[in-house]
């Protein structure tokens, strides 16, 4: 046995596990990220799976992947290109080799590279035999065969062999990254502990993989990623969708308002509905409605009845909910609408990410119909922004649209676990029972917020609805001047929320050559790029927006301190157009991408440098 | 007074005037909706719940102005969505007496999906379905219950659509309660509404209502003085199904079909008639009764079905209680710290 002594220390590393749907790549990736988390690394992950549940075996369409970015520094994204690619069959190699860096290590299951599978993947020639992989450090291992062999001595079901080969690969990766095998086994035990036979099989295979890697000469070096300097505290790994669900629950608890969710399954938002349905012990009432419209309408009903209500969806569902959002605006009831954006229009790219619902969120309803629009910008901060959306919605008696996206919703990163009592207070404007002065549309002088009076409360009987009402009394009215007044009041009420949200912050100096502007799920890529360029002494800063309507009060001030402004979005320029309307006095460059893919640091760097260069020549 | 449910009772005796709102009623003079409103004003004090625990929800259409005219909590929603809105209200507060006012278009055209799913779930909500077989508020287009051939503003050559039979739709959607009544009989409406309030689950009360402007004679064949005794069968639980001016006709079950018989003819005696059992769980006879139509049959009025089944809202509360008792997650801090977590020191 040759013992490797060459240990390479890395700042950060991107590992991608890819295979056929059903090869267990999500599990292998999740366990690897847990190992990294327990070792103190910062990390971000992203699953990449096909829209089909089980596409044809061994085809490119059926490739499922899981990418993990771990580091000894703050990690902002799941990474652009990978340093290590684990490919369990020819199709997954073919689909993903373009995402491997030059010189990347590619670990292959050699057993699966038979003629049939190679052709099914669309290769003309066996990629292991031609020159196509010459720029990579290829580690070939007969993983399927060795997995079978390692199970031979165990008296286990033969069917377990194909289902445990992911563990063989994980065992090899565990060795490659100098992680403790015992740690890996204990994680496997946690996963399969309740099924002893399955656990024993997985344990045997992961150990065999580890030992095989140890003996392998083609592994010339192993890698080490030291712990990241992280704030003290308790941590967990969390996806954006779960974080969103928990943020809503935290807001319910903090406000004292029982939680209600009315939703309909839709990719990539379904996990929020699924997650919340598990929390009846927190009195979360979760209603899987017959359609998107019933989802939001039931939530509006629950909100009228005094619950803190939400509905969760993705773009096509937001379209269906438009009319009902208008009803919630008219009745001035709290309601959080979470839109986990995906590629559109129509069914579009359900499993891919885009930021193209911004204008729909801002304007996509009949009538003058203002709502608060916000966006989360990382998987973990979905918790905070869901909480904040809930707070603003309840305290200001208005619907809030919270935009996340598939990239945030399905991606994960580490969350420093907060304490609920340390979150900001939420004080919904509840009407007092038998208040003789209660009127449905009587408003607070400063915030213009009306009171919340739920059916069942003594002495506050009233009727509200979608027809225009008189201010204060709330009687049906078609009076022209009253309508104009109410339209203005609804707009002004949302505008005044700017007095209750934090000022916009900057990454970098308050003035400079280039202000990069982004919003929502692109924050990781934009921060990484801007920080890298700042290290290279470029005078560049980032203003990444989470509050969109209303905009933070200092927005104009920020824009005025830079020579150039570029707005980067995964759409055709929706936020930049909103800024142009809001602050027409500035010139905006824009960079837009609509490929269903996130921004990459290298592409952004090139764009920003080009704009700065142009400056020099001008 | 209804005491079976968990709805809080009124500490004082209420009367009709307690439920009359201060809003001007804007239906056409002579519209059947006025009578329906009068029946509600009459039956709510009898039901006896606290005023604040009644809540009306509606969609869009003439019927849907209803909440403004009852001095309870009320929510006037958007077209077709009353059932969905009401479902949310009821789930949020299962101790309300919740009423939906809807029409044939609101509930069975634009709101058809919500209507059938409300019924299927058996959420404890009372639906008053004003069926006038026409769109009144948009001024006279055909609806899902307009009889085939009906001439309306959008069917100048007669509709070529097969209409819904409301009872058939409700029972097809697993309905547990269905009643039918006429807008010209306040006492019958009152009785049926009381039964609807008493029933645990979704109660659908179809009120055959003529629109004085667009469908005045829609139910002429069953309401005219000459026809009504021979074409109306008033069902009463535990009583034989008898009708006719001289109470000489009845319904028997013949094979697997209902048949109209003349009492005294061919040896048919009153004892041979079918006795109405509104609580029967098997919907077979209820479905047949609901589908009866003149001229072959009389139309069945009163409570056709009131079968006892568990309600969504009760099961929801049970699941919550069970989860609260058995789960280790009692607050959001527990949730945040559940599963894999670790300390960075």
Residue A158: per-residue pLDDT: 78
Displacement of CA A49 from its chain's centroid (Å):
15
The string of pLDDT tens digits covering residues A378-429 is 999 999 999 999 999 999 999 999 999 999 999 999 999 999 999 999 999 9
When the pLDDT of each residue in chain B is averaged and rounded to a whole number, the result is 95
List, edge to edge, every strand of the sheet that includes A512-519: A540-545, A512-519, A562-569, A589-592
Displacement of CA A518 from its chain's centroid (Å):
15
Strand A82-87 to strand A100-109: parallel, antiparallel, or no bridges (unpaired)? parallel
Q: What percent of chain B has pLDDT over 70?
A: 99
Hunting for tokens 């967990």 — which residue is that?
Answer: A236
The string of pLDDT tens digits covering residues A461-502 is 999 999 999 999 999 999 999 999 999 999 999 999 999 999
Nearest CA in chain A to B55: A455
Instruction: Provide the CATH number for the domain formed by B16-218+310-317 in this structure.
Output: 3.40.50.970
Query: A261: closest CA among A337, A202, A167?
Result: A337
The token duo for B138 is: 């948009």
Which B-chain residues 79-108 have CB contacts (< 8 A) with chain A?
81, 83-93, 95-96
Residue A221: per-residue pLDDT: 86
Q: Do B331 and A461 touch (CB under 8 A)?
A: no
Strand B141-142 to strand B134-135: parallel, antiparallel, or no bridges (unpaired)? antiparallel
Q: How confident is the model over B85-94, as a mean pLDDT?
A: 98
* Smallest Cα distance from B217 to chain A, Å: 31
Q: Do A302 and B92 touch (CB under 8 A)?
A: yes
Alpha carbon distance, N-terminus to C-terminus of chain A: 64
Coil, strand or helix at B227: coil
Strand residue runs (E) in chain B: 54-58, 73-76, 97-103, 126-131, 134-135, 141-142, 177-182, 203-208, 232-234, 242-243, 249-254, 257-262, 299-306, 342-344
Which range (A265-274, A523-532, B218-227) has the least confidence?
B218-227
B53 touches A: beta carbon within 8 Å? yes
Taking the C-alpha atoms of residue A501 and residue A550, their distance in angstroms, rounded to an integer, is 9
Contacts of A366 in chain B (CB under 8 A): none
pTM for the predicted model, two decimal places: 0.96
The token duo for A360 is: 């729909």
**pLDDT band, residue A615 (cuts 50/70/90):** low
B110 touches A: beta carbon within 8 Å? no
* Smallest Cα distance from A94 to chain B, Å: 35
Helix (H) or strand (E) holding A617: helix A601-617
Minimum-distance CB partner of B323 among A233, A258, A280? A280
Task: Collect contacts of A601-605 with beta carbons under 8 A, ≥24 apart.
Answer: A601/A77, A601/A80, A601/A525, A601/A528, A601/A529, A601/A532, A602/A80, A604/A525, A604/A526, A604/A529, A604/A568, A605/A529, A605/A532, A605/A533
Q: What percent of chain B has pLDDT over 90?
A: 94
Could you give all domains of chain A from N- to C-terminal order, each with its CATH number? Answer: 7-225 (3.40.920.10), 236-422 (3.40.50.970), 512-617 (3.40.50.920)
Q: Do A420 and B72 touch (CB under 8 A)?
A: no
Strand residue runs (E) in A121-177: 137-141
Nearest CA in chain B to A414: B341
List residues bridging with A379 in a β-sheet: none
A460 touches B: beta carbon within 8 Å? yes
Contacts of A327 in chain B (CB under 8 A): 77-78
Count A/B contacts: CB-CB distance under 8 Å. Answer: 210
What is the DSSP secondary-structure string of A419-475?
A: PGGGSPP----BPPTT-TT--TB-B-TTT-PBPB--TTSTT---EEESS-B-TBT--
A431 touches B: beta carbon within 8 Å? no
Q: What percent of chain A has pLDDT over 90?
A: 92
Nearest CA in chain A to B111: A294
* Smallest Cα distance from A414 to chain B, Å: 10
Alpha helices for A334-373 (secondary structure H): 358-363
DSSP B238: T
Minimum-distance CB partner of A458 among B52, B332, B340? B52
The string of pLDDT tens digits covering residues A298-329 is 999 999 999 999 999 999 999 999 999 999 99
Displacement of CA A305 from its chain's centroid (Å):
31
Helix (H) or strand (E) holding A541: strand A540-545
Query: A369: closest CA among A407, A416, A414, A322?
Result: A322
Contacts of B53 in chain A (CB under 8 A): 455-456
**pLDDT band, residue A562 (cuts 50/70/90):** very high
Q: How confident is the model over B66-94, as a mean pLDDT?
A: 97
DSSP B285: H
The string of pLDDT tens digits covering residues A28-61 is 999 999 999 989 999 999 998 776 777 788 999 9
A618 has pLDDT over 80:
no
Taking the C-alpha atoms of residue A391 and residue A23, their distance in angstroms, rounded to an integer, is 42
**What is the number of H-type helices and E-type strands within chain B?**
11, 14
**pLDDT band, residue A88 (cuts 50/70/90):** very high
B62 touches A: beta carbon within 8 Å? no
Which B-chain residues 28-47 have CB contacts (< 8 A) with chain A?
none
**pLDDT band, residue A2 (cuts 50/70/90):** very low
CB B5 within 8 A of CB B53: no
Q: Do B344 and A37 touch (CB under 8 A)?
A: no
**pLDDT band, residue A616 (cuts 50/70/90):** low
Coil, strand or helix at A67: strand
Q: Do A234 and B78 touch (CB under 8 A)?
A: no
When the pLDDT of each residue in chain A is averaged and rounded to a whole number, the result is 95
DSSP B308: -
Residue B7: per-residue pLDDT: 83
Q: What is the residue extent of each domain of chain B?
A: 16-218+310-317
A454 touches B: beta carbon within 8 Å? yes
Displacement of CA A402 from its chain's centroid (Å):
12
Contacts of A305 in chain B (CB under 8 A): 55, 88-90, 92-93, 96
A3 has pLDDT over 60:
no
Q: Do B92 and A301 touch (CB under 8 A)?
A: yes
Which A-chain residues 35-64 have CB contacts (< 8 A) with chain B?
37-38, 40
The token duo for A15 is: 């590992």
A462 touches B: beta carbon within 8 Å? yes
Contacts of B313 in chain A (CB under 8 A): none
Residue B216: per-residue pLDDT: 86
Distances (CA, A) of A583 to A368, A555, A569, B252: 21, 9, 18, 79
Contacts of A466 in chain B (CB under 8 A): 60, 76-78
Q: Do B344 and A476 touch (CB under 8 A)?
A: no
B315 touches A: beta carbon within 8 Å? no
A67 has pLDDT over 70:
yes
What is the DSSP secondary-structure string of A312-330?
A: EE-HHHHHHHHHHHHHHHH
Minimum-distance CB partner of A461 among B51, B57, B320? B51
Q: Do B55 and A455 touch (CB under 8 A)?
A: yes
Non-local CB neighbours of A155 within 8 Å, separated by 6+ positions: none
Q: Do B329 and A297 touch (CB under 8 A)?
A: no
Neighbours of A596 (CB within 10 A): 17
Strand B342-344 to strand A308-313: parallel, antiparallel, or no bridges (unpaired)? unpaired
Q: Do A298 and B88 touch (CB under 8 A)?
A: yes
> Which residue out of B335, B339, B343 would a mutagenesis test of the A interface target, given it has the greatest number of A Cβ atoms within 10 Å?
B335
**pLDDT band, residue A1 (cuts 50/70/90):** very low
Nearest 5°: CA angle at A318, between A317 and A320? Answer: 65
Which A-chain residues 229-258 have CB contacts (< 8 A) with chain B?
230-237, 246, 249-250, 253, 258
Q: How confident is the model over B256-281, as a mean pLDDT?
A: 96
Cis ω for the linkage preceding A492 (within 30 of 0): no
Q: Do A465 and B92 touch (CB under 8 A)?
A: no
Strand A308-313 to strand A259-263: parallel, antiparallel, or no bridges (unpaired)? parallel
Residue A617: per-residue pLDDT: 54
Q: Do A456 and B53 touch (CB under 8 A)?
A: yes
A290 touches B: beta carbon within 8 Å? yes
A196 touches B: beta carbon within 8 Å? no
DSSP B80: T
CB A269 within 8 A of CB A297: no
List residues bridging with A272 in a β-sheet: none
Nearest 5°: CA angle at B278, between B277 and B279? Answer: 90
Non-local CB neighbours of A584 within 8 Å, separated by 6+ positions: none
CB A201 within 8 A of CB A239: no
């Amino acid at each position: 046995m040759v013992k490797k002594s060459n240990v390479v220390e890395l700042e950060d590393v991107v590992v991608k596990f890819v295979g056929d749907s059903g090869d267990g790549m999500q599990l292998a990736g999740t366990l690897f990220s847990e190992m990294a988390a327990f070792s103190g690394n910062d990390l971000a992950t992203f699953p990449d799976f096909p829209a089909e549940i089980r596409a044809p075996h061994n085809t490119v369409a059926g490739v499922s992947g899981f990418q993990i970015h771990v580091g000894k520094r703050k990690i902002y994204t799941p990474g652009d290109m990978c340093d290590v690619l684990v490919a369990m069959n020819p199709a997954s190699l073919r689909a993903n080799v373009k995402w491997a860096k030059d010189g990347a290590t590619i670990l292959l299951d050699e057993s699966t590279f038979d003629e049939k599978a190679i052709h099914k993947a669309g290769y003309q020639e066996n990629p292991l035999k031609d020159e196509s992989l010459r720029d990579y450090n290829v580690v070939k291992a007969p993983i399927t065969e060795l997995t079978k062999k390692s199970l031979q001595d165990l008296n286990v079901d033969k069917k377990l062999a194909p289902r445990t080969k992911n563990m063989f690969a994980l065992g090899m990766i565990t060795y490659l990254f100098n992680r403790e095998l015992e740690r890996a086994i204990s994680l496997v035990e946690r996963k399969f502990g309740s099924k002893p036979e399955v656990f024993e099989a997985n344990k045997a295979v992961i150990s065999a993989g580890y030992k095989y890697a140890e003996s392998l000469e083609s592994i010339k070096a192993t890698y080490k990623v030291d712990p990241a300097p992280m704030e003290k505290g308790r941590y967990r790994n969390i996806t954006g969708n779960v974080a969103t669900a928990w943020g809503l629950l935290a807001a319910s608890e903090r406000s004292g308002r029982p939680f209600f969710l009315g939703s309909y399954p839709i990719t990539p938002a379904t996990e929020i509905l699924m997650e919340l349905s598990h929390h009846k012990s927190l009195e979360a009432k979760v209603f899987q409605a017959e359609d998107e419209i019933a989802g939001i309408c039931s939530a509006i009903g629950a909100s009228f009845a005094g619950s803190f209500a939400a509905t969760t969806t993705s773009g096509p569902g937001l379209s269906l909910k438009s009319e009902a959002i208008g009803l919630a605006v008219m009745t001035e009831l709290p309601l959080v609408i979470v839109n986990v954006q995906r590629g559109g229009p129509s069914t579009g790219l359900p499993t891919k990410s885009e930021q193209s619902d911004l204008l729909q969120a801002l304007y996509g309803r009949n009538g003058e119909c203002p709502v608060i629009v916000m966006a989360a910008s990382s998987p973990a901060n979905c918790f905070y922004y869901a909480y904040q959306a809930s707070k603003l919605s309840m305290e200001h008696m208005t619907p809030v649209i919270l935009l996340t996206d598939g990239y945030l919703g399905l991606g994960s990163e580490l969350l420093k676990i907060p304490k609920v009592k340390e979150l900001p207070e939420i004080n919904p404007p509840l009407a007092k029972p038998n208040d003789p002065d209660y009127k449905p549309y009587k408003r607070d002088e400063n915030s213009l917020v009306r009171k919340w009076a739920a059916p069942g409360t003594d002495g506050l009987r009233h009727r509200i609805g979608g027809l225009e009402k008189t201010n204060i009394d709330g009687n049906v009215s078609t009076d022209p001047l009253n309508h104009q007044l109410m339209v203005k009041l609804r707009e002004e009420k949302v505008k005044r929320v700017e007095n209750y949200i934090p000022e916009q912050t900057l990454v970098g100096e308050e003035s400079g050559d280039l202000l990069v502007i982004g919003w929502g799920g692109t924050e990781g890529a934009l921060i990484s790029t801007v920080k890298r360029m700042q290290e290279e002494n470029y005078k560049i800063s980032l203003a990444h927006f989470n509050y969109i309507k209303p905009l933070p009060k200092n927005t104009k001030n920020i824009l005025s301190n830079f020579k150039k402004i570029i707005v980067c979005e995964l759409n055709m320029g929706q936020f930049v157009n909103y800024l142009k309307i809001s602050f027409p006095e500035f010139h905006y460059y824009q960079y837009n991408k609509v490929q269903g893919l996130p921004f990459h640091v290298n592409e952004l760097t090139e764009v920003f440098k080009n704009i700065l260069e142009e400056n020099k020549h001008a | 007074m209804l005491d079976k449910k968990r709805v809080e009772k009124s500490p004082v005796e209420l009367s009709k005037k307690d439920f009359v709102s201060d809003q001007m009623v804007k239906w056409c003079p002579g519209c059947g909706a006025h009578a329906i409103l009068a029946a509600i004003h009459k039956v709510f004090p009898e039901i006896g719940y606290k005023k604040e625990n009644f809540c009306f929800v509606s969609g869009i259409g003439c019927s849907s102005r209803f909440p403004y005219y009852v001095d309870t909590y009320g929510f006037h929603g958007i077209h077709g969505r009353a059932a969905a809105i009401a479902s949310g209200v009821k789930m949020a507060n299962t101790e309300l007496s919740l009423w939906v006012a809807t029409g044939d278009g609101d509930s069975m055209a634009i709101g058809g999906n919500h209507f059938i799913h409300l019924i299927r779930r058996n959420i404890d909500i009372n639906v008053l379905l004003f069926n006038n077989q026409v769109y009144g508020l948009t001024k006279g287009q055909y609806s899902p219950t307009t009889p085939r051939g009906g001439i309306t503003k959008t069917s100048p050559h007669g509709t070529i659509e097969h209409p819904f039979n409301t009872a058939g739709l409700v029972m097809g959607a697993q309905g547990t309660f269905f009643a039918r009544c006429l807008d010209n009989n306040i006492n019958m409406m009152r009785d049926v509404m009381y039964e609807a309030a008493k029933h645990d689950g979704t109660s659908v009360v179809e009120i055959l209502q003529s629109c004085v402007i667009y469908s005045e004679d829609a139910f002429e064949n069953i309401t005219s003085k000459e026809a009504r005794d021979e074409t109306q069968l008033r069902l009463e639980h535990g009583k034989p199904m008898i009708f006719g001016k001289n109470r000489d006709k009845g319904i028997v079950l013949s094979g697997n079909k209902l048949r109209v018989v003349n009492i005294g003819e061919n040896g048919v005696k009153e004892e041979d008639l079918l006795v109405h059992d509104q609580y029967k769980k098997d919907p077979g006879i209820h479905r047949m009764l609901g589908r009866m139509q003149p001229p072959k049959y009389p139309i069945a009025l009163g409570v056709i079905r009131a079968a006892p089944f568990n309600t969504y809202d009760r099961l929801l509360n049970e699941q919550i209680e069970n989860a609260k008792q058995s789960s280790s997650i009692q607050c959001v801090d527990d949730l945040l710290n559940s599963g894999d977590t670790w300390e960075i020191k």
